[in-house]
């Protein structure tokens, strides 16, 4: 088994004194730190090794913090970015959060606050790594995932989403993991009158109560240890736009009470505050859980359920729209071939037929990841059924109870040896296709960078 890799933070600041102080603070807390002086150096580190969280200054020469944030959001969207900013640039820092930054800390910073913010971001990163297969790839968007669907069930779903987008009522997106709930939420925002406002996502299952409340509602100075300045929450950041509450079924009863008031009254107070803030926000929630069963079991408030479920929309699993598989696969192939520098790669009829015959329990997300793997690992420009069979066999090469059994007489290899060889072949092939770029190789294999590094170490490839 591969040894556990320490959590890592990348610190980016052109001031050597700031870098030294932040690095010392984090190292004392048992965190692995890489400290660099520029955005370009930061990108080089991200290409070379896995990073869980990035802390970057906002004002730097050549590439400033906003430009660096945009690059990280595009290439490493799972890496939370914390902005260090001076008092005079707080509006810019808030704009950075609207563009995807995880948090910001004012300079000169309080050490307790900085450590608190970093640990909160690390908690998010841990959750994302533990559920990496449930995170929609950044390339999946409404325009690419759904228009190819011509099945009756998808046409009905598209019509519901289009109609729901025109209003302001709260929408509850239901369906299995991988069916594209975040894609649908973004589509509703994009098609709505609020499209010019921000789209802000909160993963409700990623943090414990106290951190989730702070994330949603913000906090006042002194609200808790380390809160040395007022911080806006995600509700404030979504003003004039849409707030997407992902995995709403994971929130505890304590948070349910506060969320109910927010939905009913459209107002809230920051943690530690007494000023009531109006929420000019359109709410969209999503879950794969059985909320009706949770209500019956007393795990979820009935009044909150009805507040959330004003416009319920069920996203169908791929098995209920099997006729869409070939069109989706062809579309994903075109997109991912262009994204991976292999324009012109196509799936032939035999490959499309073989893909359509699979069940795809991971739904659209699993199909897209698999097609991208085909694009990267196939040798020629035309992908056939044999290429699909090869990757399906690699996908199914997993440990079983038989793997620990003694090898049969006659020199047959144990299943675990076959699995390790299949994993090694897949890793080496992905690394070749990615030109040695481990971050890209991880994305092509559909795993997190940390999982890739653990596998490389386990197989002796580091």
Reported as a single tens digit per residue, the pLDDT across 280-312 is 999 999 999 999 999 999 999 999 999 999 999
pTM exceeds cut of 0.85: no
Q: What pLDDT score does 157 carry?
A: 87
Query: Is there a single domain that holds both residue 147 and residue 281?
Result: yes
Query: Is there a single domain that holds both residue 344 and residue 219?
Result: no
Which of 316, 348, 380 finishes a domain?
316
- List all residues 6 or more positions away from 404 whose beta carbon is below 8 Å from its beta carbon: 416
**Does residue 338 carry a pLDDT above 80?**
yes
163 in any annotated domain = yes
Query: Is there a single domain that holds both residue 107 and residue 157?
Result: no
Query: Is there a single domain that holds both residue 282 and residue 345?
Result: no
Which of 87, 103, 129 finishes a domain?
129
Lowest-confidence region among 54-68, 129-143, 405-419: 129-143
Query: Is there a single domain that holds both residue 300 and residue 330?
Result: no
434 in any annotated domain = yes
Query: Is there a single domain that holds both residue 119 and residue 105?
Result: yes
CATH number at residue 403: 1.10.8.60
367 band by pLDDT with thresholds 50, 70 and 90: very high
H/E element, 115 = helix 111-130
227 in any annotated domain = yes
3 band by pLDDT with thresholds 50, 70 and 90: very low
135 in any annotated domain = no
- Report the SS3 class of residue 312: strand
**432's tokens:** 């070749």
**212's tokens:** 């989730």
Query: Is there a single domain that holds both residue 80 and residue 168?
Result: no
1 in any annotated domain = no
Q: Give the Cα separation of 34 and 302 in Å (integer).
A: 48
Query: Is there a single domain that holds both residue 218 and residue 362?
Result: no
Q: Give the Cα separation of 89 and 81 in Å (integer).
A: 17
Look at phi and psi of residue 240 and say left if phi exceeds 0, alpha if psi is from -120 to 50, else beta: left
Query: Is there a single domain that holds both residue 201 and residue 68?
Result: no
Dihedral of the alpha carbons of 456, 339, 48, 35, in degrees to the nearest 10: -140
Provide mean pLDDT across the span 227-237. 81
Per residue in 8-67, pLDDT (tens digit) is 999 999 999 999 999 999 998 889 999 999 999 999 999 888 899 999 998 898 898 999
Q: Residue 349 sits in which domain range?
A: 319-458
Query: Is there a single domain that holds both residue 204 and residue 120?
Result: no
Q: What share of the chain in percent tops pLDDT 70?
A: 85
Q: Give the Cα separation of 377 and 372 in Å (integer).
A: 9
Q: What pLDDT score does 361 carry?
A: 87
**Does residue 365 carry a pLDDT above 50?**
yes
Q: Look up tokens 């359509």; give the residue.
A: 356
Q: What is the largest CA-CA distance in the chain?
A: 78
CATH number at residue 83: 3.40.50.2300
137 in any annotated domain = no
Q: What pLDDT score does 138 carry?
A: 36
Distance set, CA 333 to CA 144, 346, 426, 429, 444 (Å): 11, 6, 19, 18, 13
Q: Give the Cα separation of 270 and 261 in Å (integer).
A: 13
Query: Is there a single domain that holds both residue 76 and residue 181?
Result: no
360 in any annotated domain = yes
- List all residues 6 or more positions away from 47 whose beta carbon is below 8 Å from its beta carbon: 437, 438, 439
Which of 259, 286, 316 finishes a domain?
316
- Share the mean pLDDT of the chain: 82
Count of domains observed in the chain: 3
Q: What pLDDT score does 81 carry?
A: 93
Query: Is there a single domain that holds both residue 185 and residue 332?
Result: no
């Amino acid at each position: 088994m591969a040894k556990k890799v320490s959590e890592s933070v990348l610190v980016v600041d052109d001031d050597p004194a700031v870098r030294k102080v932040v690095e010392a603070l984090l190292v004392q807390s048992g965190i692995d730190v890489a400290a660099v002086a520029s955005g370009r150096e930061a990108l080089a580190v991200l290409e070379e090794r896995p990073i869980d969280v990035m802390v970057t200054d906002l004002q730097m020469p050549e590439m400033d913090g906003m430009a660096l944030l945009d690059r990280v959001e595009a290439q490493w969207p799972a890496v939370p970015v914390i902005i260090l900013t001076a008092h005079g640039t707080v509006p810019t820092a808030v704009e950075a959060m609207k563009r995807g930054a995880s948090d910001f800390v004012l300079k000169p910073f309080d050490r307790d606050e900085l450590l608190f913010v970093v640990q909160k971001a690390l908690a998010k990163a841990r959750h994302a790594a533990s559920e990496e297969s449930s995170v929609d790839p950044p390339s999946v968007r409404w325009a690419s995932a759904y228009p190819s669907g011509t099945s009756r069930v998808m046409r009905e779903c598209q019509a519901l989403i289009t109609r729901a987008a025109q209003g302001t009522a709260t929408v509850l997106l239901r369906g299995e993991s991988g069916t594209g709930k975040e894609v649908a939420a973004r589509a509703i925002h994009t098609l709505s009158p609020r499209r010019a406002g921000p789209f802000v996502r909160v993963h409700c299952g990623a943090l414990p109560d106290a951190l989730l409340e702070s994330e949603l509602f913000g906090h006042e100075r002194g609200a808790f240890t380390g809160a040395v300045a007022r911080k806006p929450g995600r509700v404030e950041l979504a003003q004039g736009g849409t707030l997407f509450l992902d995995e709403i079924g994971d929130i505890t009863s304590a948070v349910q009470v506060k969320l109910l008031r927010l939905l009913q009254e459209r107002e809230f107070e920051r943690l530690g505050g007494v000023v009531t803030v109006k929420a000019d926000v359109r709410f969209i929630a999503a879950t794969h859980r059985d909320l009706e069963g949770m209500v019956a079991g007393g795990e979820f408030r009935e009044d909150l359920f009805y507040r959330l479920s004003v416009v319920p929309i069920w996203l169908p699993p791929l098995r209920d729209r099997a006729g869409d598989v070939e069109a989706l696969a062809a579309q994903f192939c075109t997109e991912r071939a262009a994204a991976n520098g292999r324009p012109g790669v196509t799936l032939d009829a035999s490959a499309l037929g073989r893909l359509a015959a699979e069940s795809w329990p991971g739904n659209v997300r699993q199909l897209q990841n698999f097609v991208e793997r085909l694009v990267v690992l196939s040798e020629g420009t035309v992908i056939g059924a044999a290429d699909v069979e090869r990757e399906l066999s690699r996908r199914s090469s997993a440990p079983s109870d038989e793997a620990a059994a003694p090898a049969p007489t006659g020199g047959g290899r144990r299943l675990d040896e076959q699995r390790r060889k299949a994993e090694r072949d897949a890793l080496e092939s992905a690394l070749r296709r990615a030109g040695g770029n481990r971050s890209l190789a991880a994305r092509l294999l559909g795993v997190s960078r940390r999982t890739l590094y653990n596998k490389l170490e386990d197989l002796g490839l580091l």
